[in-house]
Amino acid sequence: MNSGIIFGSLLDLRQLDLLASGDSTIHRLDARFKLLAAFGFILTVVSFDRYALSSLLPFFFVPLAICAMAGLPVWLVARKALLVLPFALLVGAADPLFDHTVQLQLGAVGISGGWLSFISIVLRALLSAVAAILLVAVTGVPAIGAALARFGVPQPLVTQLLFMYRYLFVLAEEAARASQARALRSIGRRGMGPGPFAAMIAHLLLCSWERAERVHQAMLARGFTGQFHSSQHYRFGLRELAALLLFAGGCLLLRLVNLPQLVGKAALGLIQGVV
Amino acid sequence: MSNPIVSADQLSFSYPDGTVALRSVSFVIYPGESVGVIGANGAGKSTLLQQLNGVLSPTSGQVQIGDIPVTSATLQEVRRSVGMVFQQPDDQLFMPTVYDDVAFGPLNLGITGQALEQCVFQALDAVSARHLAVKPPYRLSAGEKKRVAIATVLAMHSSVLVMDEPTAGLDPCGRREIMQLLSAFDQTRIITSHDLDMVAQVCSRVLLLHEGEIRADGAPGDILRNTALLAGCRLELPLSLQACCICGR
């Protein structure tokens, strides 16, 4: 475990968290709308057939538009989304090997269905990752937790999610410190083997256990009896309803109409007319 | 003199592994007193504090808050009266935002709506932390975390504030701010600390613990100047009472 990697991941998470504290129209919308919108977007994207390519492309404009409206740096969202690329490549890598049927003819070059589905998997993975990242960046994990609770997700699950997120930073900092301390006292390869690593993980586990007990004591000291009460005010108003209808309509349109194909046909018709 | 607000009678406590942390500790504290509990590491300070609002239950003896004995049946009532600030603010601040954290206690007491908001902002104002309300706790500095941790207890309108090492790990300015805060409160304060200079300034009375027993109970001026007594309990004179290491005066 490298302390640099731990700190890097931590900073990335904190960056997303900072973005969530922004103040734009998108930020101000109720978290439940954003949760539904992200879920709907991902469902729409994955519902395309395995060879779909051109019909997926217009979906990339949706995150771009959200980034512009919410004032999010596109490069940051793109960089984080690219983290899913290795997994997507791994999942789709076998397709070109098994599916040799030519599905697309580009001049003299025939492109097999395997390659099409491989690219389609990568595009869909990227779009789904972007949707999840944008959801966190314009909502924040605490608000997502609250929205999940309002949707009826059991309170213990939501509480676990929120506590995990709250103490992720504390634990990651502890892990990074332990890792650094180990590296500083390791000479050559000695000390970097699996033995000390396992001992370090066990130590972190015990520290987490003790911290959990202290947190529970702090909760009890402030009158906790097992029931979480919320101080949040939620409002899923007309604005959210209108935004949801608009977003759902847009997704449906992009799902049913292949816009790039339509534009291509129109452009071709125009060129043929001129010639 | 009014009735005691905290009284411990022959209080003893042992941890499950057999470590004896408190041995027949008895004392009374009156409303408005500011009591410093000092002692070396392992003297039993934190254990004593955790008996006061029932986080730990005594092996024998009894703690009483006002006229309510601390038992499992009276915990809710006791915890309403005794607010505890833990040594590590990260253990105390567990909610997603500072506002939620300060609201946690009042919500458990059944306070909601406008009254809740008023309660939260009053507490945050008392520690000059209103501007931190929307921030997540992990994004605060150590000093801010300490102040917010104190606000979480103030919001419960506790009559007794119990604080474990409130100045530990703070820079000089953060320490000064906390000391000013502690001096300004009119609630009964029970503060454990190794920072004897802080105790000398903030507390009107000192309880000296050593190996789970009370070795001295009196005015800070008497106890904190007694070199032999302090040395016998593995402590030293506060820095402000030690001779200057440069000029020797």
pLDDT per residue of chain A (275 residues) written in tens, 0 to 9: 455 665 566 666 677 777 887 888 899 899 999 999 999 999 999 999 888 888 999 999 999 999 999 999 998 889 888 888 888 898 888 888 888 888 878 778 888 888 999 999 999 999 999 999 999 999 888 888 888 988 889 888 888 888 888 788 778 878 877 887 777 777 766 667 777 788 888 888 888 888 888 888 888 888 887 767 766 666 788 888 998 999 999 999 999 988 888 888 888 888 888 87
- Residue B248, SS3? coil
Q: What is the per-residue pLDDT across B191-240, written as a single tens digit (0 to 9) for each?
A: 999 999 999 999 999 999 999 999 999 999 999 999 999 999 999 888 88
> Taking CB atoms and an 8 Å limit, are A225 and B136 in contact across chains?
no
Q: What is the pTM of this model?
A: 0.72
Distance of CA A175 to the CA centre of its chain: 24
For strands B6-14 and B68-69, give the pairing.
Answer: unpaired
Percent helix, strand and coil across chain B, each rounded to 5? 40, 25, 40
- Asked if residue B89 lies in contact with residue A166, where contact means CB atoms within 8 angstroms, the answer is no
Nearest Cα residue to A141 out of A224, A241, A19: A19
pLDDT 10s digits, B235-248: 988 888 777 777 77
User: Is 3.40.50.300 the CATH number for B6-86+159-241?
Assistant: yes
Contact assignment for B55 to A217 by CB distance below 8 Å: yes
3-state SS string for chain A: CCHHHHHHHHHHHHHHHHHHCCCCHHHHCCHHHHHHHHHHHHHHHHCCCCCCCHHHHHHHHHHHHHHHHHCCCHHHHHHHHHHHHHHHHHHHCCHHHHCCCEEEEECCEEEEHHHHHHHHHHHHHHHHHHHHHHHHHHHCHHHHHHHHHHCCCCHHHHHHHHHHHHHHHHHHHHHHHHHHHHHHCCCCCCCCCHHHHHHHHHHHHHHHHHHHHHHHHHHHHCCCCCCCCCCCCCCCCHHHHHHHHHHHHHHHHHHHCCHHHHHHHHHHHHHHHHC
Residue A179 corresponds to which tokens in the numbers above?
């890792």
Question: Model ipTM?
Answer: 0.74
From B52, which residue of chain A is nearest by alpha-carbon distance?
A221
β-pair partners for B68: B65
Nearest Cα residue in chain A from B114: A231
Q: Give residue for tokens 């070199």.
A: B227
Chain A contact for B52 (CB, 8 A cutoff): no
- Are the Cβ atoms of B88 and A214 closer than 8 angstroms? yes
Rounded Cα–Cα distance for residues B137 and B151 (Å): 13
CB contact, 8 Å: B72 with chain A? no
